[in-house]
Structure 1
Amino acid sequence: MKKSKRKSTFKREILFPLFVFFLSVGAFAQSISISGTVKDASNEPIIGASVLEKGTANGTVTDLDGNFRLNVSGNAVLTVSYIGYQSQEIAVKANHTFDITLKEDTKFLDEVVVVGYGTMQRKDVTTSVATVSTKDLDQRPIISTGAAMQGKAAGVQITQPNGLPGQEMVIRVRGNSSINASNDPLYVVDGVPMTSISFLSPNDIESMQILKDASSAAIYGSRAANGVVLITTKAGAEGSAKVTFNSFVGFSNVIKQMKSLNHEQYKELMDETGAISLPEGLKDETDWFKETYTTGVNQNYQLSFSNGNDKMRYYVSGGYTEDDGIIKVAFYKRYNFRANLENQIRKWLKMNVGASYSDYSSNGIISGTGSNRAGVVLSVINTPTYAKIWDDENPGQYYNNFYGANLTHPVSNMSRSADNKTKNNRLLGNISGEVTLTPDLKFKTSLALDRTYYHYKSFLDPVKTSYGREQFGTASDNRSLSTVLVFDNTLSFDKSFNGHNISAVGVTSYTTSDYEYSYQTASHFFSSDIQTLNAANKISQSNGTSGAQWAIMSYAARVAYNYQSKYLFTANMRADGSSKLAPGKRWGVFPSFSAGWRMSAESFMKDMTWIDDLKIRGGWGQTGNQSGIGDYAYMQQYSITRQDWTKEDKANAMITLSPANMANRDLTWETTTQTNIGIDLSVLNNRLQFTADAYYKKTTDLLMDVPLPSTASVSSVTRNEGEMINKGLEFAVNSKNLVGGFKWDTDFNISFNRNELTKLTLQQVYYYAKTSESTSENCVRMTVGKPLGMFWGYISEGVDPQTGDIVYRDLDDNGRITSSDKTHIGDPNPDFTFGMTNNFSYKGIGLSVLLTGSVGNDIYNASRIETEGMYSSRNQSTEVLKRWRQPGDVTDMPRAVIGTQNVKSSSRWVEDGSFLRVKNVTLSYEFDRRLLSKIQLNRLQVYASANNLLTWTKYKGFDPEVNQYGGAATTQGIDWGTYPQVRSFVFGLNVEF
């Protein structure tokens, strides 16, 4: 009996638990087959939706009817996702069949926004951050990242100063904050700060955010005075491997043609002026417009591979871009490669490795300075049509017999441009490791390398051109190597409890830069067969090498707190020490504070169900600037002059040193203090979103190169000189006008900015922009109480019918026209700028229309001085056919006369530069995925696109979006033989499999 009882006890207490254990193990290990359908809210099947067993690489995609079948473990959790829809997690449990409906992703407030050294949910952001949509980048034929942002963000003015292939965009966040220091924003690509993003392919971009106010940008301190553009490149995603191919081919032409005088008209003009005497028998020989301009061809090919699982993700891409310009010899080429790898090595350790390499080259078309016989654009008009391309009497030489006129024709000028080539090789690499110390505490360390090799070479043929023959050919070879290292360490803390949410970040950052440069010039070449410097017989004494180094050490911290995402507060602080500034003045501390109140979360708002979100926010902060000044600006520097060893007095043939500048031991940070208040409103289930911001920016201790009196031993000193303010309003509206089968979305933004220089200390007036060699005048004057870039000159009151001369207003009423009668005659700063995008879609058809515009800005059309001035022997445009010829003529075109009377800097050359432009129109078609699956494709889209399709403007020049001086703050809106913008038509293809 006892034995039997022990036996039964053994079965009950030992065997039964073991049986249950093994049964449960067997059940756990058992694989079950599940199936289901994935649809959208309209009950339409979603083709290609990802169905993944969470925590594994086991997954599939839905078929033509939205169906799927998959073997999973009995306690699996499914993750169902598709682009543009909210992901769902579904427990399998005992179910074997699923009917899943995915909702469109309209959770605007839950969108993750990248901020400095971290991320936040949009609903918790208390600062002014603009997100640039990247969803249509593969449907727009763009090769510049700046172009991807144009017209897309309030408060961000992006212009293309000329149409030269590969030209970088000028980006200004809330106006110009500096005079001589840089006004470009800081770019941070995958955490690596840099000043240029020309190497970056837009197809590699995952997201873009722009930190506009100081309270958002202060975490970057000394380099953030002009805003920060945060760019995250693509990474692999969990699911099936993807291969993506994007390509386009386009054709471009000059938007407008300007007519020049034919030979008969030109001869009549020369007879009037008496500038030169032309022989009889000449006739029209050459259409210089046709010889200069052509149909440009641009093409782009990008191929990428990506995949991932819960442990590792990768993204690899490569591409080629080529843009042959509308001026025959202009070109831009770029090869780009990128690889991003993320590996979850352990639950507590994650590593990221990224590398990109780009090789881009171009040639600079000589533009502007048309009057010094070098500008391609203006010489198309200025060259008489009787001239030929080649000299019949001197084979191999360009035509140069202009009967006393100091001219060269555009083909000759293009030949100089064709042999001026710039090549850059840029390598960026970054590696980071992130350690999860606790669920709430993480430590990340990263090291980044940014290395750029620059090579410029030029060659002037010893035979073709007259100047080349004078020098027996010349060549130059300039090379530089720049290496920037960034070492960051970040400790982050995130904790949520009882409605309280705390996020804190501490950062140390160390940046070093090493720059080396060599410049070599030689002349006297036997022929053009060998163009390297070793084939020259005379080496310039000005050849040499140089180098420079700088470093920045930084400490930064941010604390963000919110209670139930209702009451929000953020504080930043950054301390920077820069080697560019004087000892004792190198450290700057840049704090910021911001707060927000989500009114929509209050109980008194609960009945206003049509309001999804209403948030009021405000912030104050400081940022610094030391970019753009010399690496040793505070030190005494010297100019080196070499003496000629061939002179008889060889004993004194030593180098001589002379002061090049004045040392400044007080040189310190340029500081921008900014206050921002804003409101964010979302209504009607997030179908309408509205954002408004008002800001006030004051920049103190402006870094400037101040000229010194002629009696001083040096010409200038770099010092903290003045103060300037920018203030403005920004509005952005995003709306889903129609939803369902036919969709229509609209994004609109408008920005108002007012700039004023409020203080100058050492010198009160500055002049810039000499735009004609006919006079020594500058057309820009900078002084206190005015915005930057104001045009300066006489007020033109038309043509005197009796004399044919321009009448200038006698402002001081003394009966004479002198320099005291000059005044401000124009303002290049717009009253407001705007952008609007409309997206329409129906089934697979998509239409996108981007409009951009600027209102209230003036342009100084200096090109007209050379094409309508009639002051020399150059050919002119057909506009001068309206010129005054005899007393009594009533016209706005003065008489033809040699001299400067009618070409003074005046309001005659100032024009309204306002414009409305259809910047881009794209029509696309995406093929039905049910058909594509038969040929193993996930996506196939074709599109046709037009850039700069239509422009409404009163401006008489080639294009109102222009500035010969690029992004210079002091000289804006000046057109002087600038490479014109183009209208292009592009055809593209996007494939994914």
Structure 2
Amino acid sequence: MRQQKFKLKTLFSVMGLFLLGIGYTYGQQVQVSGNVSDDAGPLPGVSVFIKGTNNGTATDFDGNYEITAASNAVLSFSFIGYKNKDVSINGKTTINVKLEEDVSALEEVVVVGYGAQKKKELTGAVAQVKSEELLKTSTADIGTALQGQIAGVNVVASSGAPGAEANVMIRGLTSINGANRPLYVVDGIPFDGDPKLSINEIETIDVLKDGASAAIYGTRGAAGVILITTKKGKEGQMKIAVDSYYGLQHITSGTPLLNVEDRLYAQFIQGAALSDTRYGNTWTVIEQSPHFLTNNTDLMGVIENDLAPIQNHSLTVSGGRDGLTYSLTGSYFNQEGAIIKSGYDRFNVRANSQFVKGKWNIATGISFRVEDREHAPWGLLGNAIGYSPYQPYLDPDTSQLDNAGDGTGANNLSFLGYQFLQEDNQENNYFDGNLSVTYNFTNNLKITSRVASSYDNGTRITINPKFIAYRDDGSEVTSQRSRIRNLSSLAKKFTWENILNYQKSFGDHNFNFTGVYSSERYNYSEFFAEKSDLASNDITVLNGATADPNVGSGNNPWTQDRESTLIGMLARLQYNYKGKYLLSGAVRRDGSSRFKEEPWGVFPSVTAGWNVSDENFWNPIKNTISNFKLRGSRGTTGNQGIADYTYTPTITLDNDYVLGAGSNQNLVLGATQTGFANPRVKWETSVSLNAGFDLGFFNNKLTLSGDMYETKKQDMLFPVLLPPTAGGGQDAEVTLNVGDMINKGVEFALNYQHNGKFSWNTGFTYTRNRNEITKMSGSNKIIYFDDSSISGHDNDQDLVSALAEGYEGGAFFLIETNGTIKNEEELAEYQQLVPDAKLGDLRYVDFDNNGTIDINDRQYMGSGTPDFEMGLNFSANWKDLDFSMQWYGSFNSEIINGNKALAYKDGTHQDLVYQWTPQNSTSDIPVYRNATHNNYRGQTDYWLEDGTFVRLRNISLGYTVPRDYTEILGITKFRVYVAAQNPVTITKYDGYDPEVGNNGLSTRGIDKGTYPVSSQIRTGLQIEF
């Protein structure tokens, strides 16, 4: 792998040196000078280029410029917020230019799926983000780059692990079965999940938010659609762009833990409170375990990799002539983890080309990606939080325990050493290619046929090497067995689409018809194998282990072999009259192999719009309110996001059974039904309504857009666990249509653009969404998620997140606490509920008044989903300086601090210094007793905290070297900058980070060993030739 990376780096370097050597050819030259201005005066920083070349300059602070060009050349003047202007030289030596503002952007084209539309003609809720905004973040993830950029798009980090994908939800929770991620479509090709493009490959991102806009993708559009257009070449001289940055990461917060002195003090007052003779006085403690004072182990300091580097380097070459254009982008992203034993490497290469000749248009796209990911050892953060500071330190080179003391401490260190040496590496090689052929029969009629194929080959190898720890006396500590695991996967997908487009105008009546037929086939296979007892740590292959081989495929729980197909047909008709009255209707019909008896679903949509500001009666106020449009839509989408083959039962041959009696007993192979069929499972459908407006003021310098929406989800798909009486064991489940859900919300986007010597732009977004489960089928009106346990107890007693009728998905249901038992009177009263309660214990509220504290006392206490979100973006340019910042706020969400619960349970949290004692009887921090005591139950509100936060997502300051100094080297742009990501977070949350996304539903807002999000500072440069 390293050799492959070195070869790619060498290739990029050679390309760069070769292209830098290309010179420029000039004709008869003249010196041209002049001034560029607008209605308000001179304009600094205007780009002045010789058209068709990369030669150019920029105006100074007074709007003046000078350039040498051929006497018959054409000068092109461009500036952000103004219309471009071309002027022929015709031998002149002085050319003054006045630019007109162009802040309306209503003629801009946005991608809407199987086509494009002018913004003025849009009737759905569609938003666009351009590449320059995405490049302001240092991330390998597209979702993270979108955070706070678009109203209605909720982005929360799933974790801070290198290369981790953010959870992206468009207009709230759209499914309860995990199918909440939007559909990604890259250059017209749908992708299953995040396509993991380099940000440098992307030209624009268009987001289809309303159901009607997304309905043209049928079953795959229920969670919204993200349309990505990658960079394409343009005719003209070859252009080269280099983008590079290097930065450092830092974890800014954490769980406050005890040092050894505080730990001994907390243990002493605990012993006094419990009348424990072991801790009657500190001298007894030290006499029994003298190493307590010689050790002061900070395991968090060991596992945190402070100032871990992050870097990205990209090279893009583009150009074209005679109808052939091309663009080639290669990039390398590397991120070391802020936690040890983790990291991420990624190479991306993309080549796009297009050839136009006569009536033919042929486009190709090829992408190759190599990923290397090192996963942090399982439970590493949690083990470090729960580790007592007086436990011994382990030298990883000698396996020698320093002052190990008792056997318990040595055994704990032995396990941690085993974790520290673990290697968990995953490699993915990805390739996709597409070919699109368009034939224009007439100016009005064209047909496009597009094929695409992708291939993803992954391997994940986990190695736990042999590890033997020794005490100071030379005795061996029992250690974990060495083991190697190999999980290999192969995913293949083939897509074929045929698109017919016909557009025709009859006077002021404009029609556009689109017809689509598409088919997809997806294959996925997985194979797992493991063995134990490695002969040597130097032999890291399966054959290097000697015991307990375990292999599987097909029905083995660790492996899969599956295939699915999807067929779709679409008809869409768009109409407008004079561009004022807009109407669009579409019908999509999809067939899925995942449904047996009802494989087909029909998804209609209709949208309408009215450009009110184009009416004659609007003219008197048009100078003030320059644009006003009303929009409305209704659309139906589907969801097939369930496992394959749920309509057929599965039986596993993995249980032994004893037949016979006495001496005639025989052990025979038994079978268990682990998958129960539901052949009548049907489509999950969503019906969405949207009403919106677009306003522009003062020639659209100030714009405001707003939307109000409602989405009703019916027949939600969910795998339901069956009781053991069904005969399928504890993991048996069946997929059912379990209920209905609704999302309601409002969103606003405000933007202001000011042009001049000091140009600036600010944008504000506001999103409020309300989610509710309106119906749960059957008698069970609440289903707890089995992965939402807290405090390490994996049973129903400690599950905290659920689906419940009348509440949002992933709502928290917890037992209320009422402080500690502070005196004998409170103790006597509380012992009526809990007879064995003692002074200093937590008091729980008997919510159902049945005279006992049990799981039925849980009550609703919010969720990890915020009530509303806001984003604020600001950018400014003055002379050669540029500045930008992005703020994001998430309000009124809740977080369950599982790390705090773990630290309390293991007696390592700093709060325990202030626990209840007879001398500190007003404290609400319970007495520490033992890890399994009721004081540390997971399903209580004692761990619940306010998750509201406001964060400075990005801030950057850049300087562009004047072109007069760089053009002699053939450089048209040379910009350097410094930037910071997540440098400021304002929050009351006491844990690592308030941005706790996890899987986006069942564990959203549950912070238990989640890899923390780090802050970053970086410096970079951008060069264009």
CA drift at 1:968: 3.8
The amino acid of 1:453's aligned partner reads: N
CA distance in 2, matches of 1:544, 1:866: 37
Alpha-carbon distance change, 83 to 310 in structure 1, aligned in 2, over 3 angstroms? farther
CA distance in 2, matches of 1:385, 1:106: 61
SS at match of 2:903: helix
Which of 41-50 and 165-174 deviates more? 41-50
Q: What does 1:836-985 correspond to in 2, within 5 Å?
A: 836-869=872-905, 874-886=906-918, 889-898=921-930, 899-904=932-937, 905-963=939-997, 966-985=998-1017
The amino acid of 2:789's aligned partner reads: K
CA shift digits 1:16-54 (9 cap, x unpaired): xxxxxxxxxxxxxxx9999966845354587754444xx
Partner of 1:767: 784
Matched, 1:781 2:802: yes
CA drift at 1:793: 1.9
CA distance in 1, matches of 2:163, 2:478: 32
CA distance in 2, matches of 1:785, 1:476: 44
Partner of 1:674: 688
Matched, 1:790 2:811: yes
Contact in 2 for aligned 1:162/1:979 (Cα 8 Å): yes
Partner of 1:365: 376
The amino acid of 1:793's aligned partner reads: L
Q: Which TM-score applies when normalising by structure 1?
A: 0.89
The amino acid of 2:861's aligned partner reads: I
SS at match of 1:866: helix
SS at match of 1:541: strand
Contact in 2 for aligned 1:305/1:315 (Cα 8 Å): yes
Contact in 1 for aligned 2:421/2:464 (Cα 8 Å): no
Identical-residue share of aligned pairs (%): 31
Partner of 2:433: 429
Partner of 1:745: 761
Contact in 1 for aligned 2:208/2:224 (Cα 8 Å): yes
The amino acid of 2:739's aligned partner reads: G
CA distance in 1, matches of 2:639, 2:520: 15
CA distance in 1, matches of 2:379, 2:581: 60
1:302 equivalent among 303, 314, 324: 314
Q: Where does the alignment leave 5 or more consecutive residues of structure 2 unmatched?
A: 1-26, 60-64, 280-284, 471-475, 555-559, 658-662, 824-838
Partner of 2:834: none
Matched, 1:460 2:496: no
CA distance in 1, matches of 2:512, 2:664: 72
2:337 equivalent among 325, 334, 345: 325
CA drift at 1:138: 3.6
CA drift at 1:80: 6.5
Alpha-carbon distance change, 824 to 969 in structure 1, aligned in 2, over 3 angstroms? same
CA distance in 1, matches of 2:55, 2:918: 86
CA shift digits 1:722-761 (9 cap, x unpaired): 100000000110112x421112211110100000001111
Which of 545-554 and 417-426 deviates more? 417-426
2:252 equivalent among 252, 255, 263: 255
CA distance in 2, matches of 1:978, 1:827: 17
SS at match of 1:142: coil
CA distance in 1, matches of 2:111, 2:329: 23
1:755 equivalent among 744, 751, 771: 771
SS at match of 1:136: helix
Q: What does 1:402-801 correspond to in 2, within 5 Å?
A: 403-404=407-408, 408=412, 412=416, 415-416=419-420, 418-464=422-468, 472-544=481-553, 546-582=560-596, 584-609=597-622, 610-627=624-641, 629-641=642-654, 656-714=670-728, 715-736=732-753, 738-762=754-778, 763-768=780-785, 769-774=788-793, 776=795, 777-801=798-822
Contact in 1 for aligned 2:235/2:321 (Cα 8 Å): yes
Partner of 1:19: none
Which of 748-757 and 414-423 deviates more? 414-423
Alpha-carbon distance change, 633 to 199 in structure 1, aligned in 2, over 3 angstroms? same
CA distance in 2, matches of 1:398, 1:675: 66
Alpha-carbon distance change, 841 to 407 in structure 1, aligned in 2, over 3 angstroms? farther
The amino acid of 2:918's aligned partner reads: Q
CA drift at 1:98: 6.1
SS at match of 2:131: coil
Count of matched residue pairs: 935
CA distance in 1, matches of 2:478, 2:591: 53
CA shift digits 1:792-836 (9 cap, x unpaired): 221111112121111112223354323332212232221101111
Contact in 1 for aligned 2:454/2:493 (Cα 8 Å): yes
Q: Which TM-score applies when normalising by structure 2?
A: 0.86
Contact in 2 for aligned 1:788/1:969 (Cα 8 Å): yes
CA shift digits 1:474-514 (9 cap, x unpaired): 01000001001111111112223422221111111110011
CA shift digits 1:335-379 (9 cap, x unpaired): 1111111111x220011111111111212224xxxxxxx522233
CA distance in 1, matches of 2:965, 2:398: 66
Which of 309-318 and 412-421 deviates more? 412-421
Matched, 1:808 2:844: yes
Partner of 1:141: 138
SS at match of 1:282: helix
Contact in 2 for aligned 1:461/1:468 (Cα 8 Å): no
CA drift at 1:281: 4.1
SS at match of 2:621: coil
Alpha-carbon distance change, 338 to 80 in structure 1, aligned in 2, over 3 angstroms? same
CA shift digits 1:96-126 (9 cap, x unpaired): 9965544454241111010111100000000
The amino acid of 1:336's aligned partner reads: N
CA distance in 1, matches of 2:461, 2:144: 28
Alpha-carbon distance change, 62 to 811 in structure 1, aligned in 2, over 3 angstroms? closer
2:227 equivalent among 226, 230, 235: 230
CA shift digits 1:191-216 (9 cap, x unpaired): 11113335310011100011001111
Contact in 2 for aligned 1:774/1:900 (Cα 8 Å): no
Which of 529-538 and 892-901 deviates more? 892-901
1:355 equivalent among 361, 366, 381: 366
CA distance in 1, matches of 2:158, 2:717: 25
CA distance in 1, matches of 2:199, 2:265: 53
CA distance in 2, matches of 1:491, 1:96: 51
CA shift digits 1:373-419 (9 cap, x unpaired): x5222333321223333279984679976643697459936845750
2:207 equivalent among 207, 210, 234: 210
Contact in 2 for aligned 1:868/1:876 (Cα 8 Å): yes
Alpha-carbon distance change, 811 to 104 in structure 1, aligned in 2, over 3 angstroms? same
Contact in 2 for aligned 1:362/1:423 (Cα 8 Å): yes
The amino acid of 1:804's aligned partner reads: G
CA drift at 1:268: 4.2
2:290 equivalent among 275, 280, 291: 280
CA shift digits 1:881-929 (9 cap, x unpaired): 1101226610121111124221122111111100111111111111111
SS at match of 1:902: helix
SS at match of 2:301: helix
CA distance in 1, matches of 2:551, 2:647: 25
CA distance in 2, matches of 1:575, 1:222: 9
Matched, 1:175 2:175: no
SS at match of 2:916: coil
Contact in 1 for aligned 2:348/2:368 (Cα 8 Å): yes
Alpha-carbon distance change, 839 to 549 in structure 1, aligned in 2, over 3 angstroms? same
